[in-house]
Structure formats: structure tokens, C-alpha cells
């Protein structure tokens, strides 16, 4: 009995253990909720805008200033989220160094055409802009220069060529007329650097002075790399001019002025925009004080404050000369693309031709040649080592710079006088009812 009982007990225990170890079907894992699919990235369009200027030789400081204007415009455009043809526009700067050389300039121009850039801001020098623009015209790519002032740039009927500054046949008469009216010279010597720009503006100065019955000595010429002017200046010293005008850039104009003073020339020295920079005080030293010069546009410091602040913040320096005009040039290309809803040069060109745009340098519209309508000219002097504006010439009228700035400043909004506080109601005084109307 005990053995049977023990056997029964063992069997029951075995069954109990088997029951405890029996695997129960695992609960079905809940399917994870599927995450929503990430939205497809918005389609983008890459738009190449070129800046072309001398960046290594001749006038690299001016070339970099021009490039900075374009770079700032493209960076701002990218930050603003522009859409072209329903796509997010990504503006890419393609910067090229033309070395201020016409041969290099045409090589660079063909390189940009082959790269299928959508628009060009450049070149800096007229002598480079003129041959390069032939290549852009053949390719149908719009080009805006912010500094090339020779009239020939826009006189050949090219529909893709524009500029945001004035022309030498406006600038030359402006500086010549100011020189004649304010220093009253009887004899003027003219020297140029034999470039399209230098000779071009010198020709315009000579025509204006002769029309004002001022005697002009036979022309003297150097090159765009001449730094030893002593032979020419010694010849001029014997002819005793009351004024000397030089058509060329600052890197050659500075030595000309310095050596002229060292040789005892007492004449007033005057220059076009290529030598109308603070760099002249470094190149000529104290001899630069009192020089006269012109720029084909408003002074950099008269540009829109928003632009000036943004330029200073980005580059930690102030604009030198024409960066406000290259900044506007880049923004004009972008504005025309937006209006056409296309970066295709053939499609946005008609919008560029008829554009009316308020830029950092004021209102910009183009005439049939691609020149800026009613462009201003500025006359400067060197004062305490800084180029300082004296007057603005527009539509043949000369206005003192301070008066121009006052007239251009936006009117301050009228401030309403604070309302008089309402008299406090006396306590316990019943409120009077307004008579019904």
C-alpha cells in the first residue's frame, strides 16, 4: 500500500511539474506604428552667376571689392529662399581673375560660356570688357558691368550688355567742367595710360576743356604699368601747366602725382574714377592731399545703409569704390530671373531690358543701349588721406554733396504730440451723461 501510494504521489508530482513547464503561446507582438514617410526634398535649381575682375595683378584691391559686391548679393539671395520655376534656387558664385588683361579676359569669357553660367557681373576695366562682351553677346548671356565706363561698351548694339554706372562721355565732362569752374586753369596737361579706359576719359576731358577755351598741351602717354614718369613730368614742368589730368588707374596715377610734386610741379592734379581711391594716399603720400577726381556714380558711402552695414559685417571693411554697383548688378540679374520665372538667359533677358529696380545705388533703369538712365557723377578731393565727396553732377546740374545727401534722405515721420491725460473724475461726483444726438 505504501509503495502504491508512493508511486501515485510521484506520478502526480510529475504531472504537476509537466503542467508548470508547459509553454504557453507568446502573445502576438503588436505591430509598431509605421512612421510617416519623410517628405521628398524640394527640387532645386543651381544658377551660376560669374564675377570677373583683376584679382592678382594691377588693381586686385578694386577687383576684390567688385567680387565682394557680387558675393554679398548671392549670399543674401540664398538666405531669402527664392524659387525659380517652382524650384529652390541655389545661386553659385563663379569667380574668375581676368588680370586686367584683354587677352586673359577673352579666354576667361569663353571659359564662362563653356561652363554655361547664367549671367555675368564684370568686367572691371573697359579694355577687358569690350572684347569679352563680344563673346557673351555671341552666346546670348547677359553681362552687367559695375565699373567699365568707356562709351564703346554699350555703343555696339549688343542687347545683352548693360552697366550700372555712367559713361566716360558723362564723367569726363563732369570732372573737366568742375576743374575749369573751380580752379580756372589757363593751361592743362593731359596724360593717359594708353588703355581704352584711360585714353577714353582723357579724350572727353580734352574736348570739354577746349570747348571752355582752356589751352590743352599735346597729349603725353604711358602704359597701364608705368611707374617711372620722370621724363614726361620733366617735359611738362618746362611748359608750366596750371593743371594735370591723368586718365588711368591708381597704381600708376599715384607714382605720377608723387613724382610730379618731387619735381616741383605746382599744378592741380585731377583724375578719373580709376584713380579716385583712398589708395592714392598710400601711393603718393602727402602729395595726394588736395587732388581732384571723379567717379561714375554716387560715392560708396552714399549707398543704401542696409548694404553698407551688411558689407561691413561680412567683409570687416568698407566698400572701396564700385562694389555697390556690382552688388546691384547681381541683384538685377536675380530680379529679372524672378520676373521671368526662369534662369534661362533667353527668357529673362527681356525682363532685364525693361526692369525698374530700386538698388543700393538708387533707382536703376536701362536705356535702349543698356546704359543706366540719368546716372550721377561725383567729384571728390583728397582730405586727410581720404577721398571726400565735394559735389554730385546729374543731368548737367552740379549740387554740393551735403545738399544732395539731405535731399536724398527720407523724410522723418511726423511725431504726433502725446495726448493730454484725461482729468481725473472727482470722487463722489456723479458721471455726466452725454446728450443724445
Residue 16 lies in a domain: no
Same domain, 180 and 288: yes
417 within a domain of the structure (yes/no)? no
Q: Are residues 211 and 278 both part of a single domain?
A: yes
Q: pTM of the full predicted structure?
A: 0.81
| Mean pLDDT estimate for the chain | 88
Number of Cα atoms under 13 Å in the Cβ half of residue 254? 17
Out of 295, 319, 338, pick the residue that ends a domain: 295
- pLDDT, mean of residues 223-241: 97
- Whether residues 202 and 144 share a domain: the answer is no
pLDDT of 437 > 50? The answer is no
- Report the pLDDT averaged over residues 154-183: 96
**What is the per-residue pLDDT for 2?**
44
Question: 228-232: long-range contacts (C-beta < 8 A, 24 or more apart)?
Answer: 228/255, 228/259, 229/191, 229/255, 229/256, 229/259, 229/260, 230/259, 230/263, 232/191
Q: Is a pLDDT exceeding 60 seen at residue 144?
A: yes
pLDDT band for position 36 (50/70/90)?
A: low
- Tell me what the mean pLDDT of segment 323-350 comes to: 98
Residues 61 and 146 in one domain: yes
pLDDT tens sequence across 88-111: 999 999 999 999 999 999 999 999
Among the residue ranges 94-98, 118-122, 413-417, the one predicted with the least confidence is: 413-417
3-state DSSP call for residue 93? strand
Q: How confident is the model at residue 10, as a pLDDT?
A: 39
The confidence band for 42, taking pLDDT boundaries of 50, 70 and 90, is: confident
Residues 201 and 288 in one domain: yes
Show the domain range for 80. Answer: 44-165+301-373
Bridge partners, 245 (sequence order): 190, 270
Domain boundary among 373, 406, 424: 373
- For residues 152 and 234, state if they share a domain: no
pLDDT, residue 408, reads 72
Reported as a single tens digit per residue, the pLDDT across 275-330 is 999 999 999 999 999 999 999 999 999 999 999 999 999 999 999 999 999 999 99
CA atoms within 13 A on the CB side of 298: 23
- Cα separation, 12 vs 18, in Å, equals 10
Residue 406 confidence (pLDDT): 84
Q: Is 307 in contact with 273 (CB distance < 8 Å)?
A: no
Would you say residue 23 has pLDDT above 90? no
Contact 332, 357 (CB under 8 A): yes
Q: Integer distance in angstroms from the first to the last C-alpha of the chain?
A: 120
Regarding whether 158 and 113 lie in a shared domain, the answer is yes
Same domain, 189 and 149: no
User: Per the domain annotation, does 209 fall within a domain?
Assistant: yes
Domain end residue (candidates: 295, 311, 330) = 295
User: What is the secondary structure of 371-424 as a DSSP string?
Assistant: PBTT--EEEEEEETTEEEEEEEEETTEEEEHHHHHHHHSPPPPPPPPPPPPPPP
Task: Report the domain count for the chain.
Answer: 2
- 405 pLDDT band, cuts 50/70/90, is confident
Same domain, 365 and 321: yes
Cα angle for residues 18, 21, 22 (degrees, 5° grid): 85
Amino acid at each position: 500500500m505504501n509503495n502504491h501510494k508512493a508511486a501515485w504521489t510521484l506520478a502526480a508530482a510529475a504531472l504537476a511539474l509537466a503542467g508548470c513547464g508547459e509553454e504557453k503561446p507568446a502573445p502576438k507582438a503588436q505591430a509598431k506604428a509605421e512612421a510617416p514617410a519623410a517628405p521628398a526634398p524640394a527640387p532645386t535649381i543651381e544658377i551660376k552667376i560669374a564675377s570677373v575682375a583683376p584679382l592678382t595683378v594691377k588693381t586686385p584691391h578694386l577687383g576684390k571689392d567688385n567680387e565682394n559686391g557680387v558675393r554679398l548679393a548671392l549670399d543674401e539671395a540664398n538666405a531669402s529662399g527664392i524659387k525659380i520655376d517652382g524650384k529652390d534656387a541655389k545661386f553659385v558664385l563663379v569667380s574668375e581673375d581676368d588680370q586686367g588683361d584683354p587677352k586673359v579676359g577673352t579666354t576667361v569669357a569663353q571659359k564662362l560660356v563653356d561652363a554655361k553660367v547664367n549671367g555675368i557681373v564684370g568686367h572691371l576695366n573697359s579694355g577687358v570688357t569690350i572684347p569679352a562682351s563680344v563673346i557673351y553677346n555671341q552666346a546670348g548671356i547677359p553681362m552687367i558691368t559695375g565699373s567699365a565706363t568707356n562709351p564703346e561698351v554699350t555703343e555696339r548694339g549688343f542687347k545683352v550688355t548693360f552697366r550700372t554706372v555712367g559713361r566716360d562721355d558723362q564723367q569726363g565732362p563732369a570732372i573737366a567742367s568742375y576743374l575749369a569752374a573751380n580752379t580756372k586753369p589757363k593751361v592743362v596737361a593731359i596724360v593717359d595710360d594708353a588703355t581704352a579706359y584711360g585714353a577714353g576719359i582723357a579724350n572727353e576731358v580734352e574736348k570739354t576743356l577746349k570747348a571752355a577755351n582752356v589751352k590743352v598741351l599735346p597729349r603725353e602717354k604711358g602704359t597701364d604699368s608705368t611707374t617711372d614718369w620722370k621724363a614726361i613730368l620733366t617735359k611738362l614742368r618746362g611748359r608750366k601747366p596750371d593743371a594735370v589730368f591723368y586718365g588711368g588707374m591708381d597704381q600708376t596715377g599715384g607714382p605720377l602725382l608723387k613724382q610730379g610734386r618731387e619735381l616741383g610741379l605746382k599744378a592741380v592734379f585731377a583724375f578719373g574714377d580709376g584713380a579716385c581711391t583712398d589708395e592714392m594716399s598710400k601711393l603718393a603720400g602727402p602729395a595726394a592731399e588736395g587732388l581732384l577726381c571723379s567717379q561714375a556714380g554716387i560715392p560708396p558711402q552714399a549707398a543704401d545703409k542696409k548694404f553698407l552695414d551688411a558689407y561691413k559685417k561680412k567683409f570687416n571693411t568698407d566698400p572701396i569704390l564700385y562694389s555697390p554697383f556690382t552688388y546691384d548688378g547681381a541683384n538685377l540679374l536675380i530680379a529679372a530671373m524672378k520676373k521671368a520665372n526662369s534662369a534661362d538667359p533667353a527668357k529673362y533677358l527681356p525682363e532685364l531690358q525693361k526692369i525698374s529696380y530700386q538698388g543700393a545705388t538708387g533707382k536703376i533703369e536701362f536705356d535702349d543701349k543698356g546704359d543706366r538712365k540719368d546716372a550721377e557723377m561725383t567729384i571728390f578731393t583728397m582730405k586727410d588721406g581720404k577721398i571726400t565727396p565735394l559735389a554730385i553732377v546729374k543731368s548737367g546740374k552740379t549740387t554740393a554733396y551735403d545738399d544732395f545727401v539731405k535731399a536724398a534722405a527720407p523724410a522723418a515721420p511726423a511725431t504726433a504730440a502725446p495726448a493730454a491725460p484725461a482729468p481725473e473724475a472727482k470722487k463722489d461726483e456723479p458721471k455726466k451723461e452725454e446728450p443724445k444726438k
